[in-house]
Chain A
Amino acid sequence: MSKVCSLSEAIAKYVNDGDLIYAAGFTHLIPFAAGHEIIRQRRKDLILARATPDLIYDQMVAAGCAKKVIFSYMGNPGVGSLRIVRAEIEAGNLEWEEYSHFGMISRLQAGATGLPFMPMMPTAAGDLEKANPHYRQVIDPYSGEPVVVVPALKPDVAIVHVQRCDAEGNSQIWGIIGEQKEAAFAADKVIITTEEVVDENVIRSDPNRTLIPGFIVDAVCHVPYCAHPSYTQGYYDRDNAFYLQWDEISKSKESVKNYLAEWVYGVRDRQEYWEKLGQEVHARLKVTPRLSEVVNYGSY
């Protein structure tokens, strides 16, 4: 059964005020277009979870969509601070819940595998475990030694961008695969955005590359260039210049407001956004192909 619909339909149907959202992707494949659509549909009081909130949550917080963030590294990767999330936390306007990367991903791993919690070896650092009561210690029943545990994270909605999927949502990803699979399996509803919708036979030609099976997917949205200014391996490059530019834009509320007015509220959808970026940016982000060797699955 085809689950193909527009991104605005998917957000309208599956993202509700107050939901816990996990827009996946460790630097790679971050579904910016979905974040922008949520802003355009003026969702409120969301709990935004990501290991690295990245610019997508900085923008959603700036637009007033969030009441809380859950994260493990709140920076603009390679650039510096995530100014808006940081300022809202410092001002006491935004709730937050914080982990290390391993704590965060262990929460998703528990959620994705149907476990109540996930154990980790102790790190002895201590202060984050004191600051966040979700960190607990239990005794390993086999050795009698303490282990650190974190509870399952079960988002209401996971949004995952992929290189290609079929109409049912059988999704293939390559490059950095971060926590996409875990987010999808942990979540109640799964929205897939994709660079390409392909025939099921394309998926079946390379089954090892399928990280997310269609039967856990709720919506398939064909959104080329969804990830910009993040990137899609093999399709377009990361727009590092924009990540640096955001560091300037996010220094003042006025310039953030202007950015959102022009690039989020001011465009209908991702296609219009991408066209508006212009040919110079398109050319700068173009990627030279580098193909893998073909693998032989055999005919049986």
Chain B
Amino acid sequence: MVEYTSAELLTINAARLLRDGDVVFVGVGLPNLACNLARRTHAPHLVMIYEAGVIGAQPARLPLSIGDPTLVSGALSVCGMYDIFAFYLQRGNVDVGFLGGAQIDRFGNINATVIGEYDHPKVRLPGSGGSMEIAAWANRCYIITPHQKRRFPEKVDFRTSAGFLSHRKEREAARLRGTGPQAVVTDIGILQPDENGELILTALHPTKTVEDAKANTGWELRIASDLRYTEPPSEKELTILRDELDPQRIYLKGGE
């Protein structure tokens, strides 16, 4: 069997969720790799938008930051920060947003702000950046995260961005234009919202078990009746990632 790291597994499974022609609000790190992988495999017409205000980027090298100059050279368009959030995201011109965070709860709400009390933080995290708006207004959101119990509490300490709030009905009542988190890709499998907006296990990666998933989730994780296994990473996907996208293993070395 082909060997791969957790980071490669996450990236490849995230890439497979993208559709050809999607307009994607890309983050740095694994989402950036996932989008570039998708563009080189099944989604050649993917349009990559970066929150720094770059539309249709074709990065020639792996950007360390969200504002790397390689994103600009050869892009379709560059605009200011207000424009990218207003004309593109708020207006409804973004199909997919990628999110991550320190905590993701049972209803897909995310905490990227603080552990402990807001006014007296135990651990102060970087904060929202664009995630509050991406979670609300991108048509579909995907979350990429390692699967650990402390990252999957029943309820987040601070709700930086909205998943389904307390129930799918609550999100619907809030009339946000986006449909909310559609999948959480972890190194154990994939969680997806059920009809109530609760995240349940819908897929396992090869060699992982339901017990692995349950033991690493902070709420009583429910299992989909049609639980499936994901396809293992292919030679082609791994070759593109390793040889073309991250040859220095800046992002892919994680979780060996």
Chain A residues within CB distance 8 Å of chain B: 26-28, 51-52, 71-75, 77-79, 81-82, 86, 89-90, 92, 98-103, 105-106, 108-109, 120-128, 131, 145, 174-182, 231, 233, 237-238, 240, 243-244, 287, 290
Contact = CB atoms under 8 A, between A and B. Distances in A.
Contacts of B132: 100, 102-103, 123, 125, 128
B67 A102 contact: no
B82 A106 contact: yes
A240 B160 CA distance: 28
B123 A176 contact: no
A232 B127 CA distance: 27
Contact of B63 (A26, A78, A244): A78
A101 B133 contact: yes
Contacts of B38: none
A27 B72 CA distance: 12
B69 A127 contact: no
A77 B133 contact: no
Contacts of A78: 28-29, 63-66
Given A121-B137, A175-B69, A176-B52, 16 more contacts: A27-B52, A27-B67, A51-B81, A71-B127, A73-B126, A74-B127, A75-B126, A77-B64, A89-B121, A120-B90, A124-B165, A125-B135, A125-B159, A174-B78, A231-B69, A287-B69
A130 B177 CA distance: 22
Interface centre among A71, A100, A128, A233 (most CB of B within 10 A): A100
Nearest to A80: B126
A124 B176 contact: yes
B160 A128 contact: yes
Interface residues of B, number: 57
Given A27-B65, A101-B51, A177 B29 contact: no
Nearest to B32: A78
Interface in B58-80: 63-69, 71-74, 78-80
Q: Which of B54, B65, B74, B85 has the largest count of A CB atoms less than 10 A from its CB?
A: B65
B186 interface: no
A179 B29 contact: no
